Homo-oligomer: A and B are copies of this chain.
Amino acid sequence: MTGPEIDRLIQLLARLPGLGPRSARRAALHLLKRREALMLPLAEALSLAATRVGDCGLCGNLDTSDPCAICADPARDKSLICVVEEVADLWALERAGVFRGRYHVLGGTLSALDGIGPDDLRIGPLVARAGADEVREVILATGATVDGQTTAHYVTDRLKASGVEVSRLAHGVPVGGELDYLDDGTLATALKARRPF
């Protein structure tokens, strides 16, 4: 139908999350209409990010520098480590701007189904970091899913020897949430973890 260049572009765009074959075609046409303004800058941004951005050797965050900007920031509280599953979770916490410590990205969750064991995650480096004198508390911010909580329990066990304090995010009714729409699990957790008003 079209030349191999356009076909290949559509195929690659269709592999992005959120784009299917139809929206990839639409995106390709959108790009071809804006060659100078969007298409070439995007090509450049992609290859630049692909070559320059790497994993932070300390926390696993993505950045152009190693250690990353967060680990290297002297204003960050070195006594707090927040453990997250993925870089996306780290970004979410940074957008909220509510945490001033440092992070540790596990790179996923333990999952028997997908064959992901402790050695596939960055748990060993976390235990090593938590053993340092300056670290006082490790906050587990893995997801409130079965896999996320299994991982949190496993990490807690592994951290016991280091004697560091381990906490996890509170579970309960999300701010702005209506009780009517919440699932039984969330309601039960919120009730059990009720606090004096």
Contact = CB atoms under 8 A, between A and B. Distances in A.
Interface of A: 1-3, 5-6, 8-9, 12-13, 15-19, 23, 25-32, 35, 38-50, 52-53, 62-65, 69, 86-88, 91, 94-95
Contacts of A12: 38, 41-42, 45
A59 B53 CA distance: 43
B38 A5 contact: no
B3 A88 contact: no
Contacts of A27: 16-19
Contacts of A86: 29
Nearest to A97: B1
B9 A18 contact: no
Give the number of copies in the complex: 2
Contacts of A88: 25-26, 29
B50 A43 contact: yes
B25 A49 contact: no
A14 to B, nearest CB: 11
A53 B6 contact: yes
Contacts of A95: 1
A113 to B, nearest CB: 20
A93 to B, nearest CB: 10
A62 B81 CA distance: 53
Contacts of A5: 45, 48-49, 52-53, 64
10 closest A-B pairs (Cβ-Cβ)? A43-B46, A43-B47, A18-B23, A3-B64, A39-B50, A9-B45, A12-B42, A1-B94, A5-B49, A16-B27
Contact of A23 (B17, B43, B69): B17
